[in-house]
Amino acid sequence: MDEVDGVTGNEDRGGIQALIELIQTTRIPIIFIANDRQAVKMRTLISHCYEIKFERPSFLNVKSFILDICSREHIHILHSSLDNLINGCNRDIRKIIHSLNLYYKESSSTVSNVVNVEKALSTSSFDACMKMFSSSNISLIDKTNLYFHDSSFLPLLIQDNYIRVVPSMTSERKPIGTRQRIELISKAADSLTFGDICSKLNFTNGSRSLIGYQSMFSGVIPTTYLNGTLNVVQFPAWFGFMQQEKSTDRHLIELETHCSLKTMTIDRKEFNLDYLPVLNFLLNHYLHKKNIKTCLELMNNYYLNSDDLQLIFSMTSYRKLNLHNNELDTKIKTLLRKSLEEQHHRTPFKQININNIKPGLVGAREDDDDYNMTISDDDNKENINPESEMIKPMKPHPKRRRKK
């Protein structure tokens, strides 16, 4: 089973657990193939498998294998051209064979010269980031070309990995000390700051006039300062922070909407800074004192439900002096939940359980208490219009029978 590390997304949810259950029940040996060994989702699967690691073949092994193919296919190639092709493809045998086939089809049976193979081949953003940090003899133009391989994703990779680089020795062949490394990191951080300013101006104004300066500040200069050893290029953590920020903003809008009748004169920022910390402190204080009645009164005054209570605890947990919901006793949580279910919790908005709604408007109204109204006979007599008694209801049209 190939590409096991690609089991992600909603369509493959629970795929790793299904594979583990298959391992425990079947007697047929299964071979799982994965490229990303360090992935978080692979840790559970590896504990149920026997791991076999395969290293990338060496340069000499790849060269001898390609020369054997060339001799069988009657292709004549210079050794210097083959060396350039192998280095350009990063010892990827499939890519080397494909590129060799292209050069052979375009030229005669002799592949005399292969120039600039690296530019003609596709390079991933992670390999480009690794090369910009690790290559010491790379030129300025080559670094700029690597940056424009993916000018939107590569700056994030550089910004997330530049602090993990171990710089090489100086021109005087002296090892770099801690103080000098901190100075290089500071210079690289200043350069990345100017790169962010150029990127913001490019996107906000819709102008690409500063994209050359952005490539220098965000790519070339930081990798020149911190040129050395980088073990693994890690995925940018900015994407996780951005997703968390959007989720928090959505929850903040929900809380502000529920409390809007009590906090109509403030905006969302003031609600986050002034109201949420106080609500968190008071709710935690009442719950730790086992004062469930006062806690429910506070929730009723601000139209908060149990979900809002969890959101308040989670969104204000960054403060060190606050009490967290995890520290609450389980009995207090159970008592609070039962009290919320027993009392009639007033809310200015309608709470609908989507699972209980039947398909169609009529089914939804039948379950709604607002539509289940009973009218007495006296009310019916008072509301009868005398003119309506003279009006006869229309009879439904008879169904027409189809002719045979």
pLDDT digits (tens, 9 = 90+) for 193-249: 999 999 888 888 777 788 889 999 999 999 999 888 888 888 888 888 888 888 888
For the stretch 302-320, pLDDT in tens is 888 878 888 888 777 655 5
What is the per-residue pLDDT for 364?
Answer: 45
Nearest to 188 by CA among 209, 216, 211: 216
125-236 CATH fold: Zinc Finger, Delta Prime; domain 3 (1.20.272)
Element (H, E) at 167: strand 166-167
Closest CA to 154 of 218, 84, 225: 218
- pTM, two decimals, is 0.54
- Phi, psi at 77, each rounded to 5°: -140, 145
**Which residues 6+ apart lie within 8 Å of 88 measured at CB?**
99, 114, 117, 118, 120, 121
Are 197 and 191 contacting, i.e. CB atoms less than 8 angstroms apart? no
Parallel, antiparallel or unpaired: strands 228-229 and 166-167:
antiparallel
Write out pLDDT tens, residues 72-87. Answer: 888 888 888 888 888 8
Sign of CA dihedral 335, 341, 346, 347: positive
CB atoms closer than 10 angstroms to residue 344: 5
pLDDT of residue 31: 92
CATH number assigned to the domain with residue range 59-120, chosen from the 4 options 3.40.720, 1.20.120, 1.10.3470, 1.10.8: 1.10.8
What is the rounded distance in angstroms from the CA atom of residue 49 to the CA atom of residue 65? 32
Helix axes 93-106, 79-88, angle to 10 degrees: 130
CA distances from 107 to 66, 110, 111, 117, 326 (A): 18, 7, 7, 15, 70
| Beta strand residue intervals within 184-323, DSSP E | 228-229
Three-state SS at 228: strand
> CA separation (Å) from 359 to 350, 353, 355, 362?
19, 13, 10, 8
Range picked from 5-19, 169-183, 253-267, 380-394 for highest mean pLDDT: 253-267
Cα–Cα dist 207/228, whole Å: 34
Where in the chain do CATH 1.10.8 domains reside?
Answer: 59-120
CA 233 – CA 38 distance, rounded (Å):
11
Write out the residue limits of the CATH 1.20.272.10 domain(s) in the chain. Answer: 125-236
Please tell me the distance from the alpha carbon of residue 191 to that of residue 390, in angstroms, as a whole number: 88
CA dist 210 and 195 (Å) reads: 10
